[in-house]
C-alpha cells in the first residue's frame, strides 16, 4: 500500500517537474540528445533546390517524373537512470536528503524523455543491484519510477559503481543515454575504467550529489562522525588544526581523483548540492552541451 503522504509527495514532484519540463527542458533535452540517425519516411515529387543525391531513381523511372526520398530523424531513445541508494544518500544537513534531490532531478529527466516519446528505465544499486525497471514510455511509467525512488528501501548499505555500470552494459543492447546519480564517495579508481567503457557504448552523464558538510566541517568542538555505509563511529576534535589540515587534504585528494576519472572517461558531470536549486546546474549542463554541439 502507498501512504497518503507518499502520494502527495509524488504529486508535488510531478506538478513541479512537469512545469519545468514544459517551460524549459523538453526542447533542451531534444536538442542535445539526438536520435540514432535518419530513417526513410516517404517519397515526394522533386522540388527546385532538392539535393540530387536524394532522388529515388526507381520511382522516377517508373513514373516518368523525378521523385526524392524524404528522411526523418530516428528519434526514439532510451534513458536509463542508474541511481545510488547506498546509506550515504540518506544524508542532508540543509533542507533535503541527497536521495530526495535525486528523486526530483530524475523526475525532470524522466518527464523530458517521455515528452519526447523516449523510453525511461531505472536501476537502483548499492553494492548490489537492488531494483531494475525495464525502459518503457508514458506518464504512468514515469510516476512508477518516481515512486520507487522515493519509497524504495535498499537491503544493503555499500556502494559499487563499477558493478552497476557493468550491469547496465549487459542489459542495454542499443546505445542509450545513462544518467549515473551518486555522491561518488568511493575511490575514483574503482569506477574510472567502468565509466570509460560505458561512455564508449552509451552516452554517460554523471550527476554528482553532495552536501555542504561533505565539503568541510567548521570548528564545532568535539563531535562523533559516523560512516553511514559501515556504521563506524569516530570521535574528532574539529578545533584541532592538525585534524582540520589532514581532513581537507583528504577531501581535496578525493575531489581531484574524481575529477580526473571523469575527464579520462570523457564523461559530462552535473554537480548538485543539497543546499541549492538543482535547476541552475541542470540548465548550465544543457546550455554547455548545446554550445559544444553547435561548434
pLDDT at 42 over 90: no
**CB contact at 8 A, 78 and 172:** yes
**Domains of the chain, earliest start first:** 4-32+76-211+267-294 (3.40.50.410), 38-74 (no CATH)
CA atoms within a 13 Å half-sphere pointing along the CA-CB vector of 136: 11
How much is the CA Rg of the chain, to the nearest whole Å? 23
Q: Does pLDDT of 119 surpass 80? A: yes
C-alpha distances (whole Å) from 20 to each of 23, 57, 107, 126 are 5, 47, 10, 30
The CA distance from 288 to 275, in Å, is: 23
How many CB atoms sit inside 10 A of residue 162's CB?
A: 18
Average pLDDT, the chain: 87
Question: Which residue would you say has higher pLDDT here, 38 or 257?
Answer: 257
Q: Which residue has the higher pLDDT, 166 or 233?
A: 166
Q: Is-contact 180 80, C-beta < 8 A?
A: no
Name the helix (H) or strand (E) containing 104: helix 98-115
Q: 161-213 pLDDT, tens per residue?
A: 999 999 999 999 889 999 999 999 999 999 999 999 999 999 999 999 998 88
Among 12-16, 60-64, 113-117, 260-264, the minimum mean pLDDT is found in: 12-16
Q: Residue written as cell 589540515?
A: 245
| Reported confidence tier of residue 41, pLDDT bands at 50, 70, 90 | low
Give CA–CA dist 57/221, Å, rounded.
82
pLDDT of 38 reads 52
Amino acid at each position: 500500500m502507498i501512504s497518503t503522504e507518499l502520494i502527495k509527495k509524488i504529486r508535488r514532484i510531478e506538478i513541479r517537474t512537469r512545469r519545468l519540463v514544459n517551460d524549459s527542458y523538453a526542447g533542451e533535452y531534444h536538442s542535445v540528445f539526438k536520435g540514432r540517425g535518419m530513417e526513410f519516411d516517404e517519397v515526394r515529387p522533386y522540388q527546385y533546390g532538392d539535393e540530387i543525391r536524394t532522388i529515388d531513381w526507381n520511382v522516377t523511372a517508373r513514373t516518368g517524373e523525378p521523385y526524392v526520398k524524404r528522411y526523418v530523424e530516428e528519434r526514439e531513445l532510451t534513458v536509463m537512470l542508474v541511481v545510488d541508494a547506498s546509506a550515504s544518500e540518506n544524508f542532508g544537513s540543509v533542507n533535503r536528503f541527497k536521495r530526495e534531490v535525486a528523486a526530483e532531478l530524475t523526475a525532470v529527466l524522466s518527464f523530458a524523455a517521455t515528452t519526447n516519446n523516449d523510453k525511461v528505465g531505472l536501476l537502483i544499486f548499492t553494492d548490489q543491484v537492488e531494483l531494475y525497471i525495464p525502459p518503457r514510455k508514458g506518464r504512468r511509467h514515469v510516476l512508477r519510477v518516481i515512486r520507487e525512488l522515493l519509497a524504495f528501501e535498499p537491503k544493503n548499505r555499500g556502494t559499487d559503481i563499477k558493478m552497476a555500470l557493468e550491469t547496465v552494459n549487459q542489459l542495454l543492447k542499443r546505445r542509450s543515454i545513462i544518467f549515473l546519480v551518486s555522491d561518488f564517495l568511493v575511490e575514483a579508481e574503482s569506477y574510472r575504467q567502468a565509466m570509460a567503457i560505458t561512455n564508449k557504448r552509451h552516452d554517460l552523464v554523471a550527476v554528482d550529489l553532495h552536501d555542504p558538510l561533505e565539503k568541510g566541517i567548521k570548528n564545532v568542538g568535539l563531535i562523533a562522525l559516523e560512516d553511514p555505509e559501515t556504521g563506524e563511529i569516530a570521535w574528532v576534535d574539529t578545533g584541532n588544526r592538525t585534524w582540520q589540515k589532514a581532513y581537507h587534504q583528504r577531501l581535496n585528494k578525493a575531489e581531484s581523483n574524481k575529477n580526473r576519472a571523469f575527464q579520462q572517461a570523457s564523461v559530462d558531470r552535473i554537480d548538485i548540492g543539497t543546499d541549492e536549486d538543482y535547476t541552475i546546474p541542470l540548465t548550465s549542463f544543457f546550455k554547455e552541451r548545446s554550445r559544444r554541439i553547435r561548434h
